[in-house]
Structures are given as structure tokens and as C-alpha cells.
Amino acid sequence: MNEYDIVIVGAGPGGSTAAKEAAEKGLKTIFFERGRKPGNKNSSGTGLGPRLWREFDFMKEINSDDCPSIREGRAARNYMIDNDGKVTGYIMTTPTASVEYEPAKSWITLNCYRSDFDPWLAKYATDAGAELKTSTLITGLLKEDGKVVGVIDEKGEKYRGLVIGADGAVSMVAQQSGLRKRWGQKQVTLTLQYDFECSASKIDDVMGDEALAVWWSATFPAAYQVFFNSSFHIGLGNWMTWWDKNPVHYLNKVINLDYMQRLIRVLEAKPREFQAHLLPWMGTPENTHTDNVILIGDAGGFPCPLEAEGIYPAMVTARAAIDAAAEAISAGDTSKDFLSIYDMKWKATSVGEDFKSGPELQSIWMALPFSPRKSMSWFVPMFMEILGGIIDWSEPHPVRIRQIARSLKKYLPQAVPFIMQEVLPLLTSVLGEEKMEMLTDPAKLMAEMPEIQEAMMQAFMDAPKEED
Amino acid sequence: MKIDHRKLQSRIPGTGDFIKIDNSRCTQCDRCLVICVMNLWKKRGDTVYIVDDYTSHCLECGACAQVCESDAIEFRFPAGGTGIVIEQG
Ligand SMILES: Cc1cc2nc3c(=O)[nH]c(=O)nc-3n(C[C@H](O)[C@H](O)[C@H](O)COP(=O)(O)OP(=O)(O)OC[C@H]3O[C@@H](n4cnc5c(N)ncnc54)[C@H](O)[C@@H]3O)c2cc1C
Ligand code: SF4
Ligand code: SF4
């Protein structure tokens, strides 16, 4: 029998962070990876956001020597695709004036392949003294008197210790500890993507500092494009309840947009790899721990409820889990009851903050970009009418404005229920009942803002009558 | 642009069998047939099955077992150090 304090299944971002934190606390730690090296089994867009740098100091050390796929950027492009599969417009965005965290004013994401990132991160754990066993599949949980006391590998080797399930979306630890048989079909998405290779200088020339693109569409669920040093990913996903045809059918729709084909031609890009992976995506993570077991990252359902960013939550929940585990070990009590401090800990982090509005965030996303036929079919033309309507020189401008207004009116039967069912609950959850009441009651709103009241009075009420 | 996505992977052989179907539980809902991006699930008459050479195509995504609400599909990962290698994930 091999005795450890902490036994971690999985060497993804969650597992490696947990291993690093545990080893640094002086806990005897081992972590297992079924791939020949960390990152071998992982597929991701791998956009790494500034939150990671705020939370984890060592992120400052990431560099292109260790991770040659790195590309960072300060801009994102948003394409709008209509019912006929045409790009009807796009907007490029950069960090706006309201961004407060200084470094985030100059970049939005650093993109890096998991085949670079995961081994890079795992090294921090082994350097801290954690033991890594690769090419090792953990096949079962070791139980005594019905309670989990460790894990068993495919060769029957046993390892005792507090078990951290960092084994991703298809989690053996979650299954065998009785925390979950499988996800609900609305708790997990299937996400598939192509990797295209092309030259770095072409991307520099064509995309500049745009590191990301989102393809918002009425004919397929929102697709993303992530640029790396000399390649890019194009992918999309949706909840298991949505697929009526093979998912590849929808991904190929993205690839075969005239606009995408043009982009592929100018970038001289070639498809190189095709990947598919489950990605948990839910409003509220539940059943996160039991006796002697804690689930972190994807295994626990922690990707962000709005856009399923999952690497940061995996690393943050890893830290919370090891804090909880260390307290449990020193108290000599690793029962489910004691380990409920884990929930308190992750809820106190910025991941917990996201999940406070989790159900509303997930719901609005599911209802809009991931319901192309139902919602994007009216949203895209409505949005483009607002954005692009005025760019027309066939009519006098007042006539155009009336035309646009009439056209927008047409979308109200779909837009109003959407606002009532999705937008208002989200705003209420984020702003609180009191502020919402103010927003929806014009008298209260005016009373709060004397300057606006003054201006409105002057503009409308005190204005001289128009001459006949 | 036609891409043969089924050819764009690297693999290490030696996985052994890792997916099984229990036809007595299968309700022929066809969900596994729709979801598998590699088209490895097939139906002959009223029998659903996985193709013989699935180990040389499967992406180990687990989607088939996830959508099978009747517990007819048993999925586990292949032996450590074998199976799909994602080089540009
Ligand atoms: C296509 C796609 C795009 C994404 N894009 C982004 C993005 O841009 N930004 C972002 O932040 N997140 C993104 N995500 C989400 C992100 O990839 C995950 O949330 C993240 O990988 C979770 O980390 P983890 O450590 O919890 O699990 P994983 O990364 O899944 O790691 C689990 C590890 O455990 C190993 N393992 C599993 N079972 C066993 C076992 N029984 N024995 C031994 N080893 C085992 C696996 O091989 C794996 O290495 C994306 C996901 C997908 C699928
Ligand atoms: S998903 Fe399950 S029940 Fe449905 S056809 Fe496939 S094996 Fe049968
Ligand atoms: S694991 Fe994925 S690729 Fe393999 S058979 Fe199941 S659905 Fe198809």
C-alpha cells in the first residue's frame, strides 16, 4: 500500500494546481495522468484571461520558450451571421473605459495550446515535491467499510489518501463515489473544433492584435475562433439536448461560410487536427464532495456559467479544495460534513461570485447564441438594423430612420418576451431587487438623478413650441 | 471545402476494448448515433452497435455514454498511455 496525504486523479489545470498547492503545504502528494504526458488528452480553446494572473503569481512566468503556441491580444472580433448564412456585419472590440484592472486594459486573452500549458503547469507541482505518475489510468476507488480511502490504478496498485477528483468532465471519481452517475443533459455540452495551421506573420498581418473571434449566427450555435502563434482553432458546442444532427454538420457550416473560406484562403490555412470533448456548463455546481473525496474543475461542474471558461475555475477550486483538505487532515476528520468547508471556500472566490447569478447567466446564453433558429434568427437582423441601418444613401435620412424604426417594431414580439424572461431576471440577480425596481420605475429613477431630470425638463417640457 | 475530419488525429495503439453496449437495455433512441462525431455507432435492423474498429477512430469524448439515458453504453478510458493523442488542443 502506498500512503499519501493527498491523491489526485488527473493532471489538467485543476489537478496540477491542486498538486502544487498541496505539496507546498508539506502534504505528501501524488497525481495521476492517463496520457503519456499532461495535455495529451486535452482539447480546449485555451483562452487564458487576466483573472488567472490576478490570482496566480506564477502565471507571470509563462513564456513562448516553454509554450511556443502562445499568442496574446487585446482585441476580439464579433461576426453576425444571418438566416442565409451570410456575414451581415462585424464589430471589433478592445477593452473599454470601464475596465479597472490595469493589465486588462492592454490585453484580453493569452492563448496557448494545452499540449504546452498542461506540462508547463505540472512542472510547478513536481518542482514543489508532488509525485506525478503519467501513462496511468485510475480505474477505481479504494473503499473500506463502504467509504472511499484512496484509489486503484489499472494494474491493481493501491494508493491511500484524501482523493481529489480532477479527472475532468467524464469523472470516474464522481461516478464511483456516488456523487453522480452522469451529467444532466442540460449540464454538459459537446464541444468540437478544428485546428488549422498557418504562418504567424499571416495572422499578424490579417488579424493584428485580434486574438479571438466569435461567430454569432442564426444557422449554427455560437462558434469561436482562437488564434495561436501560428495556427487557430475554430469550434462550437451546445448542450446535449440541442443536437438534431451530427455536430460535425454544424461545425462544417462555419468552415464553409463564404467569409470563413476567404479568411482561410488569405491566411493560407490548412486543417490539421479535429477534436471533440465534453464541457460541463451549468448554473449551479452540486454534489461537490463526499467522505474523503473532493471534486474540482470540470469534474465538479465549475466552468463559468456564462461562457464556460473552465481553466481558471479549475485552478481556483483546486486551491479551495487543498485549503479544505489541509484543514480536514489536521483536524483528523475528512468526513463529508467536515469537507463542506470546501463549498464555503469556493463560494467565497471570484468563481463563487459568478455562480451567484449562475442560473440566470447560463439561461440567457442557452436562450440566445445557443438557440440559433429560435433566437438568433430575429436577434441578428434586429441587431444589424440598429448597427448598420443608417448606412444607406438611397433615401433622405429622416425617411431611413422611420424605416428602421418600423423594421425594429417587427422584432418586438420576439424581443420583448426575451427581455422579460431572460434579461430582467439576470439584471435583477446582478443588481438586486432594489436597484431593479428603480430602473423599471421612471419616477424613482428620475428622483435619483437630478441632473438627468433637469436636462429632460429642459429638453422636453420647457422647450418652446414648434412653429406651425 | 471538404475536410475529412476522421483522418485528422494521432493515436497510440494498444487501448484494448473500452466501450461496450448492453443491447438488452438499449431502447433504440438513436441518440448515440446522432452525437458521435466519428459516426462510430450504427444500427442494423433494430440492433444498435459500435463499429468493430472503433478503437482506431474513437476520440474518447464520452458523449455516447453521456446521452444514453438507459445505461446501455459502458464507457471507460483506454489503458494509460494509449489511445488518442491531442497534439494541438
Ligand atoms: C473545445 C473546448 C474549448 C474550451 N475553451 C476554453 C477556453 O478558451 N478557456 C478556458 O478557460 N476553458 C476552456 N474550456 C474549458 C477547459 O478546457 C476545462 O474547463 C478545463 O480543461 C478543466 O480543467 P480540469 O483540470 O478540471 O480538467 P481536464 O483539463 O479535463 O483534466 C483532466 C485530466 O485528467 C485526466 N484523467 C481523466 N480521467 C483519468 C483517470 N481515470 N486516470 C488518470 N487520469 C485521468 C485526463 O487525461 C486529463 O488530463 C474549453 C473546453 C473545450 C472542450
Ligand atoms: S443512446 Fe443508448 S438507448 Fe439510445 S440507441 Fe444508443 S445505446 Fe441505445
Ligand atoms: S467516445 Fe465519443 S468518439 Fe468515441 S464512440 Fe463515444 S461518442 Fe464516438
Query: How confident is the prediction for chain A on average, in pLDDT?
Result: 94
Q: Check if B61 has its Cβ closer than 6 Å to any atom of ligand 3.
A: yes
pLDDT of residue A463: 47
B72 contacts in A (CB within 8 Å)?
none
pLDDT of residue A457: 65
B50 within some domain: yes
Q: Judge whether A268 is closer than 8 Å to chain B, CB to CB.
A: no
pLDDT of residue A466: 44
Residue A122: is its pLDDT beyond 70? Answer: yes
Q: Please tell me whether residue A273 adopts helix, strand or coil conformation.
A: strand
B7 within some domain: no
The residues in A 305-364 lying below 8 A from B, measured between CB atoms, are none
pLDDT in tens, A326-355: 999 999 999 999 999 999 999 999 999 999
Distance from CA of residue A47 to its chain's centroid?
Answer: 9
B86 within some domain: no
Q: Please tell me whether residue A20 adopts helix, strand or coil conformation.
A: helix
CB neighbour burial string for A11-32, b if at least 16 within 10 angstroms, e if fewer: bbbbbbbbbbbbbbbebbbbbb
For residue B73, give Cα distances in angstroms to A182, A313, B68, B70. 12, 30, 7, 8
pLDDT of residue A444: 74
- The DSSP-derived string for A282-332 is -SS----EETTEEE-HHHHT-S-TTT---HHHHHHHHHHHHHHHHHHHHHT
∠ CA A164-A128-A62, rounded to 5°: 95
B69 contacts in A (CB within 8 Å)?
185
Per-residue confidence band for A297, with pLDDT thresholds at 50, 70 and 90: very high
Span A252-256, mean pLDDT? 97
Which are the contacts of A120, defined by CB distance < 8 A and separation ≥ 6?
A62, A66, A67
Q: Check if B58 has its Cβ closer than 6 Å to any atom of ligand 3.
A: yes
Question: How many structural domains compose chain B?
Answer: 1
pLDDT in tens, A6-42: 999 999 999 999 999 999 999 999 999 999 999 999 9
> A297: alpha, beta or left, given left = phi > 0 and alpha = psi -120 to 50?
left
Higher pLDDT, A460 or A176: A176
B3 within some domain: no
B60 contacts in A (CB within 8 Å)?
41
Residue A468: is its pLDDT beyond 50? Answer: no
Q: Please tell me whether residue A164 adopts helix, strand or coil conformation.
A: strand
Span A181-187, mean pLDDT? 97
Q: Find the helix packing angle between A397-418 and A377-388, rounded to 10°.
A: 150
The values of phi and psi at residue A217, to 5°, are: -145, 150
Per-residue confidence band for A456, with pLDDT thresholds at 50, 70 and 90: low
Q: Please tell me whether residue A245 adopts helix, strand or coil conformation.
A: coil
**Which numeric CATH code is attached to A2-69+113-185+283-356?**
3.50.50.60
Domain ranges of chain A: 2-69+113-185+283-356, 362-462
pLDDT in tens, A424-453: 889 888 888 888 887 777 777 777 777 766
Domain at B32, CATH number = 3.30.70.20
List all residues whose CB is within 6 A of at least one atom of ligand 1.
A 9-15, 32-35, 41-47, 137-138, 166-168, 172, 191, 193, 235, 277, 279, 297-299, 303, 309-312, 314; B 77
Q: Which grid coordinates belong to B75? A: 464507457
B31 within some domain: yes
Taking the model in full, what pTM does it have? 0.93
Q: How many CB pairs under 8 A join A and B?
A: 129
Share of chain A above pLDDT 70, in %: 95
**Strand positions, DSSP E, chain B:** 10-12, 19-21, 41-44, 47-50, 73-75, 83-85
Q: How many CB atoms lie within 10 A of CB A274?
A: 24
pLDDT in tens, B66-84: 999 999 999 999 999 999 9
B87 within some domain: no
**The pairing of beta strand A87-93 with beta strand A29-32:** unpaired
The residue range of the domain holding B34 is 19-79
* Residue of A339, A345, A360 lying closest to A284 (CA atoms): A360
Residue A357: is its pLDDT beyond 70? Answer: yes
B5 within some domain: no
Distance CA A349, CA A443 (A): 37
Nearest CB to A275: which of B34, B36, B86? B86
pLDDT of residue A462: 52
Question: Which range among A57-61, A177-181, A363-367 shows the weakest confidence by mean pLDDT?
Answer: A363-367
pLDDT of residue A436: 80
B35 within some domain: yes
pLDDT in tens, A61-113: 999 999 999 999 999 999 999 999 999 999 999 999 999 998 899 999 999 99
- Are A243 and A178 in contact by the 8 Å Cβ rule? The answer is no
Contact A248 B37 (CB under 8 A): yes
Distance CA B18, CA A186 (A): 26
Which are the contacts of A313, defined by CB distance < 8 A and separation ≥ 6?
A297, A302, A303, A304, A351, A354
Which are the contacts of B27, defined by CB distance < 8 A and separation ≥ 6?
B70, B72
Share of chain A above pLDDT 90, in %: 85
Shortest distance between the Cα of B81 and any Cα of chain A, in A, equals 4
Nearest CA in chain A to B34: A246
Nearest CB to A246: which of B37, B59, B76? B37
Contact A169 B12 (CB under 8 A): no
Question: Which range among A47-56, A343-352, A451-460 shows the weakest confidence by mean pLDDT?
Answer: A451-460
End-to-end CA distance of chain A: 96
List all residues whose CB is within 6 A of at least one atom of ligand 2.
B 21, 26-32, 48, 67-68, 70, 72-73
End-to-end CA distance of chain B: 22
Residues of B near A (Cβ–Cβ under 8 Å) read: 1, 3, 5-6, 8-9, 12, 34-37, 39, 59-63, 65-67, 69, 75-81, 83-89
Q: What is chain B's alpha carbon radius of gyration, rounded to the nearest angstrom?
A: 13
